[in-house]
Amino acid sequence: MGILQRMSMIFRAKADRALDRAEDPRETLDYSYKKQLELLQKVRRGVADVATSRKRIEVQMSQLSGQGAKLQEQAQRALGLGREDLAREALTRRSALETQISDLQVQHANLQGEEEKLTLAAQRLQAKVESFRTKKETIKASYTAAEAQTRIGEAFSGISEEMSDVGMAVQRAEDKTAAMQARAGAIDELLASGALDDPTGTAKDDITAELDRLASTSDVELELARMKQEITAGPAEAPRQIEGEAQPTGEQESPQTQPQTQPQVQPEEGRP
Amino acid sequence: MIVRIMGEGQFEIDDSRLQDLNALDDALTAAVEAGDDARFRPALAALLDAVRQAGTPVADDALVDSDLVLPYTDAHIDDVRAMLSGEGLIPG
């Protein structure tokens, strides 16, 4: 016998056991209806739980993307200051983030699929429960316990199988959500520990601190160079001379071009 | 004939398609019995696709038993084996 038939028999055997338990089969109807409503609540909670997990992943993805963009900027800034080592460090961290993000994208798609499936399952179950309620009332009103037996079998068919299926689907969704939350928790911890830096950018990470230090150092160097030139060239001429030097390079006032304009001064100062 | 894909709902399929489904079911059964996940995955996918293509979804409010039940899309071979051995994968 193939798997398809064996599986359907397993579902059916379970429905039969539920029916056999009751003394007055009509009581089974009310009991089952109660169970159906409980399951419906459970499925709806399941949909909400999956949605919560999905949204949490969305927040984390945007936090990680923000981090990635920041590291990219840092890499550019570091290269501008001639610090390839810092730029490399920033890009390495960014690449680790990219891996995290693409992993989260997979989880996100997974949860989204689960959410859609459960939403549809809730709709189907609700329609079936409503159908069952109508049948149940008819049976209770029109038949004796003995007569009800066969009618109840009819009413039960389908709903019991649906409940088993939906019950298992909710369980699977819960398992997936739990696994996802554990991973999301790990990423939250990583973000909080500062290993990936604060997404708000308030706390300075080590790369930013180093870049800021470099920038202020080169400001000092420039200022010193300017002052030295004033002394050697004489106070009156100095400002014009500097302006004259700045002109040919146009708008390039970024730090990396400036050391080139005073190559002879830099080495004397003994850069750190 | 009514076929359920677990987690997706029921489909009504014309009996004339039973032969095709049986052939696909045989492949799936062989894979499960051999414990061969590499064969199980494509066999399950083929069977589910065949049911989705040949079947018409059963109305949501219909209360009807399925003649055949198929595992859910991302079921692992171990899940299916556990279900068949009746080890309580179906709650209640």
C-alpha torsion A121→A124→A127→A133, nearest 10: -70
Q: Is A179 on the interface with B (CB under 8 A)?
A: no
Q: Residue-wise over A155-189: b if at least 16 C-beta within 10 A, else e? A: bbbbbbbbbbbbbbbbebbbebbeebbebbeebee
Least CB–CB distance from B91: residue in A5, A120, A167: A167
Per-residue pLDDT of A83-119, as tens digits, reads 898 899 889 989 988 998 999 999 999 999 999 999 9
Cα separation of A181 and B63, whole Å? 36
Given a cut of 80, whether residue A21 has pLDDT beyond it is no
Rounded to a whole number of angstroms, the distance from the CA of A121 to the nearest CA of chain B is 7
Q: Find the mean pLDDT for residues A62-74.
A: 90
User: What is the per-residue pLDDT across B26-44, written as a single tens digit (0 to 9) for each?
Assistant: 889 889 889 899 999 999 9
Q: Which of the pair, A229 or A133, is modelled with greater confidence?
A: A133
Q: Per the CB < 8 Å rule, is B64 touching A157?
A: yes
Please name the residue that has the structure tokens 């969305």: A58
Section A235-256 average pLDDT: 49
Is the pLDDT score of A71 beyond 80?
Answer: yes
Residue A42 predicted with pLDDT over 90 = yes
What residues of chain B lie within 8 A of the CB of A158, using their CB?
Answer: 62-65
- Is residue B4 within 8 angstroms of chain A, CB to CB? yes
pLDDT of residue A209: 78
Do the strands B2-5 and B68-70 form a parallel or antiparallel pair, or are they unpaired? parallel
Say yes or no to pLDDT of A270 above 60: no
A chain contacts of residue B87, beta-carbon cutoff 8 Å:
none
For B6, the closest of A124, A155, A165 (CB atoms) is A165
B91 interfacial to chain A (CB closer than 8 Å): yes
- pLDDT recorded at residue A234: 64
How much is the average pLDDT of B73-82? 88
Confirm if A56 and A111 have CB atoms less than 8 A apart: no
The interface pTM score, or ipTM, of the predicted complex is: 0.85
pLDDT band at B3 (very low <50, low <70, confident <90, very high): very high
Non-local CB neighbours of A119 within 8 Å, separated by 6+ positions: A47
A to B CB pairs, distance under 8 Å: 105
Is the Cα torsion angle A246, A247, A251, A256 positive or negative in sign? negative
Q: Is A155 on the interface with B (CB under 8 A)?
A: yes
pLDDT of the residue at B55: 93
Structure confidence at residue A269 (pLDDT): 47
What is the pTM for the complete model shown? 0.71
Interface of B with A in 22-51 (CB under 8 A): 22, 25-26, 28-29, 32
pLDDT for the residue A22: 62
Is pLDDT larger for residue A210 or for residue A164?
A164
Q: Is the pLDDT of residue A139 over 90?
A: no
Confidence of residue A194 (pLDDT cuts 50, 70, 90): low
pLDDT-based confidence at residue A199 (cuts at 50, 70, 90): very low
Q: Which residues of A touch B92 (CB under 8 A)?
A: 14, 18, 163-164, 167
Residue B92: predicted pLDDT: 40
Given a cut of 60, whether residue A249 has pLDDT beyond it is no
pLDDT at A240: 52
The verdict on a CB contact (< 8 Å) between A10 and B83 is: yes
Q: Does A192 touch chain B (CB under 8 A)?
A: no
- CA pair distance A24, A247, nearest whole angstrom: 100
Comparing A194 with A133, the larger pLDDT belongs to A133
CB atoms within 10 A of CB A216: 10
Instruction: Report the gap between the CA of B46 and the closest CA in chain A (Å).
Output: 14
Is residue A20's pLDDT more than 70?
Answer: no
A7 touches chain B (CB under 8 A): yes
On whether any CB of chain A is under 8 Å from the CB of B64, the answer is yes
d(CA A63, CA B26): 49
pLDDT at position B58: 95
Chain A residue numbers touching B89 (CB-CB < 8 A): 168
The Cβ of residue A62 has, within 10 Å, a number of other Cβ atoms equal to: 12
3-state SS string for chain A? CCHHHHHHHHHHHHHHHHHHHCCCHHHHHHHHHHHHHHHHHHHHHHHHHHHHHHHHHHHHHHHHHHHHHHHHHHHHHHHHCCCHHHHHHHHHHHHHHHHHHHHHHHHHHHHHHHHHHHHHHHHHHHHHHHHHHHHHHHHHHHCCHHHHHHHHHHHHCCHHHHHHHHHHHHHHHHHHHHHHHHHHHHHHHHHHCCCCCCCCCCCCCHHHHHHHHHHHHHHHHHHHHHHHHHHHHCCCCHHHHHHHHHHHHCCCCCCCCHHHHCCCCHHHHCCC
Q: Tell whether A241 lies on the interface with B, counting CB pairs under 8 A.
A: no
What is the reported pLDDT for A124?
Answer: 94
Average pLDDT value over all residues in chain B: 87
Confidence class of residue B89 from pLDDT cuts 50, 70 and 90?
very low
Average pLDDT of A149-172? Answer: 85
| A8 touches B: beta carbon within 8 Å | yes
Residue A23 pLDDT class (50, 70, 90 cuts): low
Mutate to test the interface with B, among A1, A3, A31, A50 (most CBs of B within 10 A): A3
